Amino acid sequence: MRAMSGDDVIEAVAGCTAALRPAVGGDWRAVRAGRLEWDCHTTAVHVADDLIAYAANLAGRARDGYLPFELTLDEGTGNADLLHVIETTGALLAAAVRTAPPGVRGFHSYPFRSADREGFAAMGVAEVLLHTHDIAEGLGLPYEPSADLAESVLTWLFPHVQPGPAPWPTLLWATGRGELPGRAPVTAWTWYNNLVIGAGRLDLVGIRPAAARDLSLGGDGGFEWIEGGPYEGTRQAAGFLLKAYETGVHRPEFGVFALVRREDGRAVGGMGFHSAPDEEGRVEIGYDLTEGARGNGYATEALRALADWAMARDDVRALFATVETGNTASRAVVARAGFVLVSEDADEVAYELRR
């Protein structure tokens, strides 16, 4: 798995400054940045401001809002010095990403109000790539980042976007900056950091497409698992998530979660939805635990938390789960979480939880 890192931030910034440096002698305030309403100077300042804000929120472990400061340039700062500021703020974000422990999150407003170190790296890279494109377009300069960087941004921040024939044109299309054959123009867009749901002694940590691909191929998905993990059911669920992503039907909030113990940051199992809710608001849940984690109440805590989260949504009216008839432990989990038995045969039993 190619995780987003501080090195990616440095690579993106280096590509930005190399592309824009030939035009530092021009008047960037007089030129509009591509399709944006901002001029090229304002857009470049915005890039630097985002980089330092992301670094601060991650390093400061901001929880409820952005840290209360913003970047202000000295009067008369020229374009060459502005590029130096971008290099510096990029280095600060890279350092914050490299030094943040796994699982640490900082505030970001949309859509789930937090991001981890990989998320902040991906957002920083996205800001640099997309706004360098805008500025370069306005100044008439050539620019195209590496396909690896563009693909990483897509798999870490755009899990709802079906992969296209090439990563960079797909990213431009997904952010309203270009066209893609066979797809309607994008007029409004957002990115998605992964959802995390607290559950007693656990956190349910949303699995991104990049991590799902790694899990489905036998990797760890970027998680530290207890011995024996991940269990086969989690790998299969990751494969289903990846297929949904590749066919353009994945909804990130109705994906798969790794069950991560707070006490040591180690994953003990997986839980998630089989799909998005149907027209009647009905959605199926599945889960498994690594053998060494069973018998500790983890599955019950996680299922209660996920059910509470789902039932608080307007688009969910019922949850259901199927269990092998002879799996008494799993049947006890769904019963303790409030599900009721609705059908039974020789092989499987079905439970449902209604609003």
184 belongs to a structural domain? no
**161 in the same domain as 13:** yes
298 belongs to a structural domain? yes
**217 in the same domain as 140:** no
Q: Which of 109, 120, 105, 112 is nearest to 156 (CA)?
A: 120
pLDDT of residue 110: 82
SS3 of 184, please? coil
Copy the structure tokens of residue 187.
């007029």
Domain of residue 319 covers 196-354
Say what the alpha-carbon torsion angle 84, 87, 89, 91 is, to the nearest 10 degrees.
-140
pLDDT of residue 65: 93
181 belongs to a structural domain? no
**14 in the same domain as 139:** yes
pLDDT of residue 216: 95
pLDDT of residue 355: 85
Q: Which of 32, 25, 27 is nearest to 136 (CA)?
A: 32
**223 in the same domain as 123:** no
68 belongs to a structural domain? yes
188 belongs to a structural domain? no
pLDDT of residue 1: 65
**31 in the same domain as 146:** yes
Per DSSP, what are the bridge partners of residue 231?
none
Round to whole Å and give the CA distance between 123 and 128.
9
**218 in the same domain as 170:** no
Count of structural domains, the chain: 2
10 belongs to a structural domain? yes
**267 in the same domain as 340:** yes
Question: Under a CB-based contact definition with an 8 Å cutoff, are residues 191 and 200 in contact?
Answer: no
Domain boundary among 141, 174, 207: 174
Copy the structure tokens of residue 291.
């053998």
Q: What's 302's domain CATH number?
A: 3.40.630.30
Round to whole Å and give the CA distance between 69 and 74.
16
Q: Which amino acid is at 283?
A: V
**162 in the same domain as 25:** yes
Q: What's 114's domain CATH number?
A: 1.20.120
125 belongs to a structural domain? yes
**123 in the same domain as 29:** yes
The per-residue pLDDT for range 63-72, each reduced to its tens digit, is 999 999 999 9
DSSP 102-154: TT-EE---SSSS-EEHHHHHHHHHHHHHHHHHHHHHHHT------HHHHHHHH
**163 in the same domain as 22:** yes
SS3 of 319, please? strand
**205 in the same domain as 146:** no
Q: Which of 200, 194, 196, 234 is nearest to 304 (CA)?
A: 200
**86 in the same domain as 166:** yes
DSSP 16-75: HHHHHGGGTTS-GGGSB-TTSSSBHHHHHHHHHHHHHHHHHHHHTT--SS--S----PPT
Round to whole Å and give the CA distance between 276 and 227.
31
The per-residue pLDDT for range 83-117, each reduced to its tens digit, is 999 999 999 999 999 999 999 999 998 889 999 99
Question: Under a CB-based contact definition with an 8 Å cutoff, are residues 203 and 114 in contact?
Answer: no
182 belongs to a structural domain? no
Vertex 120, ends 114 and 122: CA angle to 5°?
Answer: 125
SS3 of 197, please? strand
pLDDT of residue 315: 96
Per-residue pLDDT of the chain (355 residues; tens, 9 = 90+): 678 999 999 999 999 999 999 999 999 999 999 999 999 999 999 999 999 999 999 999 999 999 999 999 999 999 999 999 999 999 999 999 999 999 999 999 888 999 999 999 999 999 999 999 999 999 999 999 999 999 999 999 999 999 999 999 999 999 999 999 999 999 999 999 999 999 999 999 999 999 999 999 999 999 999 999 899 999 999 999 999 999 999 999 999 999 999 999 999 999 999 999 999 999 999 999 999 999 999 999 999 999 999 999 999 999 999 999 999 999 999 999 999 999 999 899 999 999 8
pLDDT of residue 267: 98
On the 0-12 / 13-18 / 19+ scale of CB atoms within 10 A, 182 is exposed
